[in-house]
Structure 1
Amino acid sequence: MNKSSTRTFPVYDSLRRAIIEQALKPGVKLPEDSIGETFGVSRTVVRNALVRLDAEGLVDMQPNRGASVAEPTIEEAYDIFDMRQCLEREVMQRLCAMDPAPIVAKLRAHLTEEQATLGNDQTRSIRLAGEFHILLSELTGSRILARYVNEIVSRCSLILARFAQVHSAECGVEEHAEIIKAIEAGDAEKAMGFMHSHLHGVQDRALLNRGDGGGDNVGEILSRYRENGAK
Structure 2
Amino acid sequence: MSKKSSRVDLASQALRQAIIEQALPPGTKLPEDELGTRFGMSRTLVREVLAQLQSEGLVDAPPRRTATTAKPTLDQAKEIFETRRMLEREVVRLVIARWQPRFGAELEGHVRAEEAARQAGEARVSIRLAGEFHTRLGEMAGNALIRRYLGEVVSRCSLILALYGRPHSADCAVNEHREIVAALRAGDADAAIRIMDRHLGSVEQRALLDGDSAAGFDLGAVLSRYSEALAGGASVKVARLPKPKARGKR
In the alignment, is the contact (CA less than 8 A) between 1:111 and 1:177 conserved in 2? Answer: yes
Corresponding residue for residue 77 of structure 1? 77
Corresponding residue for residue 135 of structure 1? 136
Corresponding residue for residue 241 of structure 2? none
In the alignment, is the contact (CA less than 8 A) between 2:7 and 2:39 conserved in 1? Answer: no
- How far apart in 2 are the matches of 1:212 and 1:156? 16
Corresponding residue for residue 113 of structure 1? 113
In the alignment, is the contact (CA less than 8 A) between 2:26 and 2:213 conserved in 1? Answer: no
Corresponding residue for residue 206 of structure 1? 207
Aligned-pair identity in percent equals: 48
In the alignment, is the contact (CA less than 8 A) between 2:21 and 2:125 conserved in 1? Answer: yes
Q: Extract structure 1 runs of 4+ deviating beyond 6 A.
A: none
- How far apart in 2 are the matches of 1:223 and 1:199? 33
In the alignment, is the contact (CA less than 8 A) between 2:50 and 2:59 conserved in 1? Answer: yes
- Residue deviations 1:62-87 (CA, integer Å, cap 9, x gap): 11212000000000101110110000
Corresponding residue for residue 42 of structure 1? 42
Corresponding residue for residue 189 of structure 1? 190
Note the C-alpha offset of 1:43.
1.8
In the alignment, is the contact (CA less than 8 A) between 2:29 and 2:69 conserved in 1? Answer: yes
SS at match of 1:68: strand
Corresponding residue for residue 240 of structure 2? none
- How far apart in 2 are the matches of 1:214 and 1:23? 10
SS at match of 2:212: coil
- Residue deviations 1:129-171 (CA, integer Å, cap 9, x gap): 0000000010111111111100010000111010001111110
- How far apart in 1 are the matches of 2:123 and 2:70? 22
Distance 1:227 1:2, change over 3 A: closer
Question: Quick check: 1:53 aligned with 2:53?
Answer: yes
Corresponding residue for residue 125 of structure 2? 124
Higher RCO, 1 or 2 (CA under 8 Å, sep at least 6)? 1
In the alignment, is the contact (CA less than 8 A) between 2:94 and 2:142 conserved in 1? Answer: no
Q: How many residues align structurally?
A: 231
In the alignment, is the contact (CA less than 8 A) between 1:28 and 1:213 conserved in 2? Answer: no
Letter in 2 for 1:111: V
Name the stretch that deviates more: 158-167 or 90-99: 90-99
- How far apart in 2 are the matches of 1:119 and 1:207? 27
Structure 2 segments unaligned to the other structure (5+ residues): 236-250
Note the C-alpha offset of 1:6.
1.2
- How far apart in 1 are the matches of 2:17 and 2:146? 21
Corresponding residue for residue 164 of structure 2? 163
Note the C-alpha offset of 1:213.
4.1
Corresponding residue for residue 22 of structure 1? 22
Letter in 2 for 1:14: A
Note the C-alpha offset of 1:45.
1.7
Distance 1:217 1:30, change over 3 A: same
Question: Quick check: 1:10 aligned with 2:14?
Answer: no
- Residue deviations 1:70-111 (CA, integer Å, cap 9, x gap): 000000101110110000000011112223412111101111
SS at match of 2:61: strand
- Residue deviations 1:118-139 (CA, integer Å, cap 9, x gap): 0421111000000000000101
In the alignment, is the contact (CA less than 8 A) between 2:163 and 2:213 conserved in 1? Answer: no
Corresponding residue for residue 217 of structure 1? 218
